[in-house]
Structure 1
């Protein structure tokens, strides 16, 4: 067993102002994505200006945060939200849902594309390689908060989390940071280095995240307010990931479909 490193969730405290690691991780993730996107925009022949890239990253980041928070309330804690609607603004307490964030990001992409005459799928291909940075950073924030821990285990690296009871558990937040963050980032960076059909990069992101999340859920403790949603093993995270896997596979097949001869 490895001792859980009790890290103060508050990274910076200036009087009444407290900056939590959880929120700071989102800032780090978004800032890193913004920096990498600007670098790509500076490559010769890139069709967007750096200003357009900055606007797009800001717009999608806003959609991600709003969608993630609203999605958490709808998918994972609707009774709590109905009892205390103001909890939606207490983001420092944790509670973001990736699938809600994805919906918010897609909505922001659609609106941005409509306003600027840009292809929705091309926007998705552009932003997809940068998303895992924020995902990995967010999982590190979950780990520091001591939340979303894994199931009870006897593996040598199991940890006793402050709110997880007396038994060691899988540090599933770190598994997800490695899979949804690091591994998916490397896969997408390598895949997007070469020219791909429109929609291909986005499809790999959908399939990759959906598959990694589905696997990680087998060692992650189901949300206490939900438990298993079906078959005594299927979790909400897995249920929401299935459409991503299937949708990504369909988009991948569509992107690589034989093109009709001119």
Structure 2
């Protein structure tokens, strides 16, 4: 791992740990980081593993790189530079776990929203202050945040710039665990990644597809995914093992 790389990546048997690595600018999201995220997504699409995302030095991401953002024009907005990367992360085959500590603002918050599971620390500050900079939260918050915390709270975050602390984020369901510090939060994420690794990868991937599907796709997608799994040798093996263990008790 290079210390100057925008994304420090550690590959484990059960999961991949990726840390945003620009602490001198509070891990602001710039084009170099976006390119690194796309590269990592390509790897995880080819070889699916759980992704654990965090920020170097105990904080997540303060937002997009404002110096770069200031120079972008309409054509850049239509490219969806950050949105496309975050959408790709959200659509990875296996779960994505974000360890969200310190500032997760603007684009940093939207990157956290793209994860399947979020774990926080007491220093967490999360929100979308984009309207104060003359833009919208255009990389997923406009629809994803409403699904995560409900429309009334999403409206106050997006329209009034409300920033949530750790306890508020836990109550709202934006994070599902609140740990005492970054190390404990990372340990929790690694434990969850290990639990996921013990499950059937095909069933986990199917469950994620069903979970992410629009309401109109149900119940047919549930039936289609289950029909494939019902023919799986792994389903037969795991159920046989379960029944044999039950019989031996």
Tell me whether the two structures share a fold, i.e. TM-score over 0.5. no
Larger strand percent:
2
**TM-score w.r.t. length of structure 1:** 0.32
Between 1 and 2, higher relative CO (CA 8 Å, sep ≥ 6) is seen in: 1
Larger helix percent:
1
